[in-house]
Amino acid sequence: MQFLGVLLSAFFAHSLVLSGYGLRQNVALGAKKTHYRWVLLCLYFVEALILGFAGWGFRALAANNAMWTYLTPLFAVLIMSICLGGFALLTKYCFPEAMRNDLSDSYVEIGLNSSLLALVVVLLSYEAGTDAVMLIGSIICLPLGYLAASYATGAVLDRLSVSNTNGPFRFATMPLLLLSIAGLCLGCWMMTF
Amino acid sequence: MEQTKKGFLSSFLDGLYFNNPVLTLFLGLTLAVLATTRFQTALMVGVLTLVILFLTVLIVSLCHSFLNKVGATILSAILSACFATVTMLLLVAYAPKLIDTENEKAIALLTLVPFISTTSLVLIKGQESLEHPLSDNLGDALGSGIGFLLALVLIAFVRELLATGAITFTAIDGTSSTWTAWSGWTLGILSQPFGGFFLVAIFSGIHLAILEAKKQKASVAKEAK
């Protein structure tokens, strides 16, 4: 039940997109221009899981030595760089050329920004007294909530891009997408009352 | 990689106004939403981002002959994470009361500084620095950094003023002073993420409208000639 609560709050009230984290990369993840978007979604999810659990380890170290609190972001970026290097090798040697070319524009930014998600998980989830179920729930559910929200906002952006010429003067696409997210935020915020 | 030259001043103005990171390119939106709840926080985050961006672009540009696109992005991320870590350690050492989490008026910099290392602004500018010569990259980094700072400060000023009716400043020793513009009605909801999204959308829409109007005016003048 507790796990379900974490999952639902990650999807709605604590969705990372609606909280303002990782907005830029959600455009690349959500937009339909990339045919192999599912590969990016998998990459993002796997990286977020690895970094989330690594962050848990860093927090355990920080309990004994406060210096680890400040070093966590640096180590998160280093681990993420290793993950990204591994993915770059995987795409180079294992993926077909069409898939490689399609992904080349997006995966670097998305792979690197996974560390942002990990940082969010580390910074927001590991409060004193948080039990293990909540931590594992956050590590798994926050990326899922992020991906769900990315899909939703990506669909809005696609629609706005198609009807670009009909949009209000220069508020088309991104400003309108931001206004849509602001509306969603307002709705979620009011649901918390 | 083949490099194209634009010139220092042209790159600077491009980054500052025509391709402003927040208002035109929508880079660094995480910081634009999170750091603009307070004017002072936005100012400090903007200055730190400017310094980290400039140093990162400088080092990546100097190493451009050894790097490809993936390498440049990874190097940018690692460098900015190193600079962010050093910044956090300096803040803890020299301004502990300014960032004290138990002081309500303190600034949440320890939460925000790590996000500078993963902001798309630093990563994308680092990646792009392979495509232009050093002087252009430095001009662009300086212009983009200042443009980012100004956009953040402008949004934060309006947001804090409307949300609280006042602007609060916290000194290094932890004491705070408040400049009250009005008391009575306030729009407290603007201090929520909603306010960040809403104001960034409004300001970027206005900025894009001004750019578009200038563009149309220039094309009309050209056609008249």
ipTM of the prediction: 0.85
Contacts of range A159-163, beta carbons closer than 8 Å, 24 or more positions apart: none
Q: What are phi and psi of B192, to 5 degrees?
A: -80, 165
Contacts of range A2-8, beta carbons closer than 8 Å, 24 or more positions apart: A2/A133, A2/A134, A2/A137, A3/A133, A3/A137, A3/A141, A6/A134, A6/A137, A6/A138, A6/A141, A7/A137, A7/A141, A7/A144, A7/A145
Q: Which of A25, A81, A174 sits opposite B78 (nearest CB)?
A: A81
Structure tokens at B28: 């660094």
Task: Determine whether the interchain pair B85/A74 forms a contact, defined as Cβ–Cβ distance below 8 Å.
Answer: yes
| Chain A partners within 8 Å of B196 (Cβ) | 20
**A5-27 average pLDDT score:** 63
pLDDT for the residue numbered A3 = 67
Kindly indicate the confidence band of residue A168, based on its pLDDT and cuts at 50, 70 and 90.
very low
Q: Whole-angstrom Cα distance, residue A98 to residue B115?
A: 34
More confident residue, A116 or A68: A68
Q: Is B5 on the interface with A (CB under 8 A)?
A: no
- Give the start-to-end residue ranges of the domains of chain B: 8-224
Q: Which residues numbered 32-61 in A keep a CB inside 8 Å of some CB on B? A: none
| Chain B partners within 8 Å of A169 (Cβ) | 209, 212
| Chain B partners within 8 Å of A167 (Cβ) | none
Task: Determine whether the interchain pair A116/B115 forms a contact, defined as Cβ–Cβ distance below 8 Å.
Answer: yes
Task: Determine whether the interchain pair A170/B212 forms a contact, defined as Cβ–Cβ distance below 8 Å.
Answer: yes
Q: Whole-angstrom Cα distance, residue A82 to residue A116?
A: 15
pLDDT for the residue numbered A167 = 45
Task: Answer yes or no: is pLDDT of A22 > 70.
Answer: no
The alpha-carbon radius of gyration of chain A (Å, integer) is 18
pLDDT for the residue numbered B161 = 93
Q: Is B216 on the interface with A (CB under 8 A)?
A: no
Q: Could you read off the pLDDT of B129-186 as tens digits, one per residue? A: 888 899 999 999 999 999 999 999 999 999 999 999 999 888 888 888 889 888 888 8
Q: What's this model's pTM, rounded to 2 decimal places?
A: 0.87
| Domain membership of residue A173 as a residue range | 2-191
Task: Answer yes or no: is pLDDT of A55 > 60.
Answer: yes
How many helices (H) and strands (E) in chain A? 9, 0
Q: How many domains does chain A have?
A: 1
Q: Is A133 on the interface with B (CB under 8 A)?
A: no
CB–CB contacts below 8 A, A to B:
129
Output the tens digit of pLDDT for each of chain B's 225 residues: 667 777 889 999 998 999 899 998 888 888 898 899 999 999 999 999 999 999 999 999 999 888 887 788 888 888 998 999 899 889 888 888 888 767 776 777 877 888 887 788 888 888 888 888 999 999 999 999 999 999 999 999 999 999 999 998 888 888 888 898 888 888 888 988 889 989 999 999 899 888 888 888 888 988 887
Task: Determine whether the interchain pair A23/B85 forms a contact, defined as Cβ–Cβ distance below 8 Å.
Answer: no
pLDDT for the residue numbered B142 = 95
